[in-house]
Amino acid sequence: MNQNCFQSHSHHPCHIMAASAGDSGILEEELTCPVCLELYRDPHLLPCGHNFCLPCLRRLKSRSDRGRLRCPECRQSHRSSANWQKNFKLANIADRFRRRGQSERSNQSQSDPSCKPAEVRCDYCPEGAGEDGKSGMAVKTCLKCEVSMCPKHLQPHLELLAFREHPLVEPLDDMRKRKCGEHDEMFRYYCLDERLLLCNACTIEGTHDRHSIKTLKNAMKDLKGYLDIQLLKANRKIRRVEKNHQEQKEIERQNRVYLDDTDQHLGAFRETSIAHLDAFLSSLRECVSTYDVEQCSGIQQNLSRIAQDQTRLQEVHSGLERLLLENDPFQFIRDYNSSVKRYRRQLRKPLYFPDEPTVDTEPLYETMEGKMGDFIAELRQHATTLISNICEFDGGDGEEEVEDDDDDEEDEDDGSFYEDIDSSSDIEGEEEMRSEEEEEQNHIESVDEDYTPEEEEEEDDDN
């Protein structure tokens, strides 16, 4: 790798990111530090133009002779006190390539659930041991000794007092995961402000001066304390949601009962209304019939008297026609003298003329109006009773227990996740509460913070 490897057109960042999957091996070789043989981490340029990780350059500087160090590539000598310039483009390309590789490995492990992490062998057992498949495999890794041990070689760490302070974890196939890439030391501290794992050298260099730094054990204790608080809040809200669900189900049941009762009331009102309407119509028919009888009696009397006039005049008309048809003079004069006076008297009688025909419906109107008033009054009374029965639905005693929602009303964004952890450090010394409600109330009042979009963005950045 020479000085112009990342300055030529063929190694431009755009061309490198556009490399095909078949060229990934070549790209990884170009992005590998010649000293640590790992992907570049914080690469810096020497005056000769070659790139190396900053921790590698610092180790070279610590072994420099007479204040000068030699480039591992071209062996040129440079002053160890010279300022090294960071290669930002190379650092970005290496970081993207590293994240892409991690994403591919993660996708592969998710797509193949049968893929299991490689088993870690015991560092003390010789090669060839463990042919039975059990012995020779590590069960724990000591972070202080930086060795993985099988059950046999783990016994001293469990029995001897000299190893009592040695932290034991699950077997690690790569200790570098637990080490600081810059100082090659084990992570022992945690910066709450920058959310970074730190080694002893990181805390001494001063880059985290005035930051809130705790040991990994204490940081885990604080974080678990915060998670306990969030768990209490989650449990409380779960109970609240369940209570709301039960209340809504009860309201739904009551609504169904209410609708059934309402249908029954409406059905009964319909039957009652139909019965009253039939009675009202029958009373109107009776009124009309009575009025018709009264009117018909007068008309019949008039018709009878008119019929009498018609009979009398018809008799006169018939007698006069007979006289006119008589041809015998003697008989004619005889009949004339005997009947003409009687015919004249019949004709002189006045005819019967009835009064002007009028229909007096005023009494009928008053009677029917009275019937209608009675019908409307009864119908209104039944309708009022129906509405009262429908609207007087008993939905409960009206005194529902109101749960204390102070935690939701007073929730505020007091800062980041870890500022709340630091501000609630007094939780570490609290004793166990006598009841679950007191413990929940005290914890939630001490730290009460809802999940905010800012936290979601921070979690996405961390992922």
Proportion of the chain above pLDDT 90, given as a percent: 12
Distance CA 455, CA 421 (A): 14
97 CB neighbour count, 10 Å cutoff: 20
Give 233's pLDDT tier (boundaries 50, 70, 90).
very high
**Distance in angstroms (rounded) separating the CA atoms of residues 207 and 202:** 7
Does residue 41 register a pLDDT over 90? Answer: no
HEC per residue, 237-264: HHHHHHHHHHHHHHHHHHHHHHHHHHHH
Question: Which tens digit of pLDDT belongs to each residue from 284-308?
Answer: 888 888 877 777 777 888 888 889 8
Pair 120, 141: CB distance under 8 Å: yes
Beta bridge partners of 52: 44
What percent of the chain has pLDDT above 70?
A: 73
| Pick from 44, 54, 48, 94: nearest CA to 70 | 48
Distance of alpha carbon 449 from alpha carbon 427, whole angstroms: 16
Of the candidates 132, 138, 48, 51, the one whose C-alpha atom is nearest the C-alpha of residue 88 is 51
Of residues 40 and 398, which shows the higher confidence score? 40
* Average pLDDT score, the chain: 76
Alpha carbons 122 and 103: distance in angstroms, whole number: 30
pLDDT in tens, 91-103: 888 888 888 877 7
pLDDT digits (tens, 9 = 90+) for 14-35: 443 444 455 677 788 788 888 7
> Residue 302 class from Cβ within 10 Å (0-12 exposed, 13-18 middle, 19+ buried)?
middle
Return the higher-pLDDT residue of 206 and 90. 90
Task: Name the token pair of 209.
Answer: 């001066």
Q: Report residue 170 as tokens.
A: 């699950």
Pick the more confident residue, 327 or 431.
Answer: 327
∠ CA 162-168-171, nearest 5°, is 135
What residues contact 136, with CB distance under 8 A and at least 6 apart?
121, 122, 125, 129, 130, 150
- Residue-level pLDDT at 252: 94
Q: Is the pTM of this model over 0.85?
A: no
Query: Are 88 and 51 within 8 A, CB to CB?
Result: no
Whether pLDDT at 431 is above 60: no
Q: Find out whether 115 and 109 touch, Cβ atoms under 8 Å.
A: yes
pLDDT in tens, 220-232: 888 989 999 999 9
Lookup: tokens for 248: 């809504």
Identify the H or E element spanning 215.
strand 213-215
Strands (E), 247-391: none
pLDDT at site 134? 53
- Which pLDDT belongs to residue 349? 86
Domains along the chain?
3-111 (3.30.40.10), 140-215 (3.30.160.60), 246-391 (no CATH), 409-462 (no CATH)
Chain centroid to Cα 158, Å, comes to: 51
Q: How far apart are CA 44 and CA 116, in angstroms?
A: 37
Which DSSP string corresponds to 98-143? HHHHHHHHHHHHHH-TT--PPPPBPSSSPTT--TTSSTTB-SEEET
Of 175-179, 206-210, 450-454, the range with the lowest mean pLDDT is: 450-454
Phi and psi at residue 90, in whole multiples of 5°?
Answer: -65, -40
Rounded CA separation 190/213 (Å): 6
| Whether residue 167 has pLDDT greater than 70 | yes
Rounded Cα gap, residues 96 and 100, in angstroms? 6
Q: Which residue has the higher pLDDT, 305 or 3?
A: 305
- pLDDT exceeds cutoff 70 at 428: no
Give the mean model confidence (pLDDT) for residues 242-256.
94
The answer, yes or no, to whether residue 372 has pLDDT greater than 70, is yes
Q: Is 408 helix (H, G, I), strand (E, B) or coil?
A: helix
pLDDT at position 230 is 93
pLDDT at position 16 is: 39
Report whether pLDDT(117) > 90. Answer: no
Q: Which pLDDT tens digit goes with each residue over 43-78?
A: 998 888 889 888 888 888 887 777 788 888 888 888
- Tell me the mean pLDDT in the region 248-265: 92
The yes-or-no verdict on residue 274 having pLDDT over 90 is: yes
Q: What pLDDT digit, counting tens, does each position of 381-396 carry? A: 889 988 888 887 554 4
pLDDT tens digits along 408-425: 444 444 444 445 544 444
Helices of type H across 326-361: 329-348
Query: How many other C-beta atoms lie within 10 A of the C-beta of residue 90?
Result: 22
Q: For 32, phi and psi rounded to 5 degrees?
A: -100, 135
Please work out, in degrees rounded to the nearest 5, the angle formed at the alpha carbon of residue 445 by the alpha carbons of 442 and 448: 130
